[in-house]
Structure 1
Amino acid sequence: MIQKRVLITGAAGFLGSHLCDRFIDEGFYVIGMDNFITGDPKNITHLEANSSFEFIEHDVTKHISIEKSLDYILHFASPASPIDYLKIPIQTLKVGSLGTHNLLGLAKAKKARLLIASTSEVYGDPLVHPQSEDYYGNVNTIGPRGVYDEAKRFQESITMAYHRFHGLETRIVRIFNTYGPRMRLNDGRVIPAFMGQALRGEDLTVFGDGSQTRSFCYVDDQIDGIYKLLFSDYAYPVNIGNPQEITIKDFAEEIIKLTGMYQKITYKNLPVDDPLQRQPDISLAKKLLNWEPKVNRAEGMLKTFNYFKNFTDIELNKRDHKDFSNHIKK
């Protein structure tokens, strides 16, 4: 049997690295691509000696040249947390626009199916709850978070244009809050932020009054949903997330109980355009993919906390390119 080949951009990121593992486990030859602007080489060092994996250090906003044939492309290159995309707003917009355009062109040339990683952020601060795929969203295009939200909305639009005009096989996953091992403690999202504060003996910081809600999906469930979507026959966006909703204040109390650190909760002003509600309607994923999350929050959070607890440096998740230098092809 000929080994199918898949290109995964953002391969050294949180979700990208888990996707590399899944596709290798499924028997694929994986080409990982990342420029390490937010990805961490340590996330893929375990694949260095794997004969079914190769890595290319490259910025997808630049021309992409792959000599080998490709069957599938998964575009997961992008800053994904507010602390990142507020720090590098132009790069965030470029990877969603120029990067997506480059990968669509590559997919067309290779006759490959392309799956893009969109996000629940396309719904903005939603006026509809829970959010289903037919909701058009409530996004502030010129607000500080707009660089990420609009990059992803444009990404969806150009992908559908290629699908309709060129007949390209495309898939769009709208990813809701996901957590698990390989997240960065300093990436600014609520789970690593709370766990990092607890491990450092600091009080937990809640923005606003804590009544805003989130719905957290464990990474294994998320990867399974993405995998099933890629091999479906559906070209329109599909929500993948866990509909179990919780307020941030209640979640902070869960983290305090889980870690056994007994910190207090402190409150700060809510950031601009921070969504007040976030909960996926996954009816479509259930119907099309026979998918729904299996890992409950207590189990997933314990696995995640144990992962973070094993870090020797909980202040910063430092990147070290030297460990992976022998495997990088420029």
Structure 2
Amino acid sequence: MEVKNQVLITGVKGFIGHHLYDYLMNEGYDVKGIDDCSGLGWEDREVPHSHCDITKDPLPFLNTEYVIHLAAKAGVRNSWKPEYLKDYYEVNIKGTKRIFDTYKNSKILYASSSSVEDMKSPYAMTKAACEAMAPNNAVGMRFFTVWGDRSRPDMFYRQLQQKEIGYLTTHTRDWCHVGDVCNAIKILMENFKSWKFVKPVYDIGYGSPMSVYDFAQTHSPEGFDIDALPFKNVTGESEETCADSSSLKALGWNAM
């Protein structure tokens, strides 16, 4: 297989990062990864990486063609906890600014979030800051509700598979499988060659929202009674998310 251009993934031991590593390796790219191994669930993911804290350590692979910046302090709910606020700022804003400043000659795709659209949490505010300071060589990716195997322990799909869900919400989400997310990232990488981008940030989601209840019914493991779970009102989160994937589809993305 012909080896394609070099790609650096930050947060490579994260949920999306380790899936993307495998995906791009199979596509023939020369993939490097960095991670500080502080995120939830990283112990379960075997992927080659260089240990690096993007907030303070020297950043490696300076001549890489593509940088897929996924390293972040994730999670809406934890961002409301005072003890974590500094971490969200340090990693999501300061760390991202260092990535932008260091890889000025690379093509950068960076992770944003659907939560930016209604700005209901400190996490959303940090992601909005990333979009605001992004340079001309960077394109944002607003991930909607990504799900799939080997996700973080605090994510709904994993808790559902392990029968650890204690309640449901009335929220509606644009659920997007991690395999389709990886394909979308590859499509965006390929379009850097011709700079066909018509916007600085792309939604990555199907545009077909499903309620939390319906998703749980569809994906619940055998023997787990979803109807026995109570509904709980959770504040500080979006009631509904829905991606506008028309611009991404115009670049050639089709969900698998």
Smaller-chain TM-score bracket:
0.7 to 0.9
Matches of 1:214 and 1:59, distance apart in 2: 32
**Contact preservation (8 Å) 2:76, 2:237:** no
**Shift in CA distance, 204/264, structure 1 to aligned 2, threshold 3 Å:** farther
The alignment yields a C-alpha RMSD, in angstroms, of 2.2
Deviations 1:67-119 (A, max 9, x none): 662111111001322355445332122222111111111111xx111111111
**Aligned pairs for 1:128-147 within 5 A:** 139-140=119-120, 145-146=121-122
**Contact preservation (8 Å) 1:64, 1:102:** no
Is the radius of gyration larger for structure 1 or structure 2? 1
Deviation at 1:276, TM superposition (A): 0.9
**Shift in CA distance, 222/3, structure 1 to aligned 2, threshold 3 Å:** closer
Matches of 2:209 and 2:245, distance apart in 1: 13
Partner of 1:213: 172
Structure 1 unaligned regions, length at least 5: 49-54, 125-138, 164-168, 295-330
Deviations 1:238-289 (A, max 9, x none): 1111222212223333344x523335433354222221111112111111x2
Matches of 1:177 and 1:280, distance apart in 2: 10
Partner of 1:156: 131
Q: Does 1:80 align with 2:88?
A: no
Q: Does 1:100 align with 2:96?
A: yes
TM-score, structure 1 normalization: 0.68
Secondary structure class of the residue paired with 1:27: coil
Pick from 159, 176, 185 the counterpart of residue 193 of structure 1: 159
Partner of 1:38: 39
Structure 2 unaligned regions, length at least 5: none
**Shift in CA distance, 158/263, structure 1 to aligned 2, threshold 3 Å:** closer
Partner of 2:146: 178
**Aligned pairs for 1:221-260 within 5 A:** 221-232=180-191, 233=195, 234=197, 236-256=200-220, 258-260=221-223
Paired letter, 1:101: K
Matches of 1:37 and 1:158, distance apart in 2: 25
Secondary structure class of the residue paired with 1:33: strand
TM-score, structure 2 normalization: 0.87
Partner of 2:27: 26
Matches of 2:62 and 2:69, distance apart in 1: 17
Matches of 1:263 and 1:23, distance apart in 2: 36
Paired letter, 2:188: L
Deviation at 1:25, TM superposition (A): 1.8
**Shift in CA distance, 175/97, structure 1 to aligned 2, threshold 3 Å:** same
Paired letter, 1:236: P
Deviation at 1:41, TM superposition (A): 3.9
Partner of 1:291: 253
Partner of 1:91: 87
Matches of 2:39 and 2:254, distance apart in 1: 29
**Shift in CA distance, 259/86, structure 1 to aligned 2, threshold 3 Å:** farther
Pick from 242, 245, 248 the counterpart of residue 279 of structure 1: 242
Matches of 2:114 and 2:235, distance apart in 1: 17
Size of the aligned set, in residue pairs, is 247
Paired letter, 1:150: M
Deviations 1:197-246 (A, max 9, x none): 2xx6xx74113xx2x21121111111101111122222511111122221
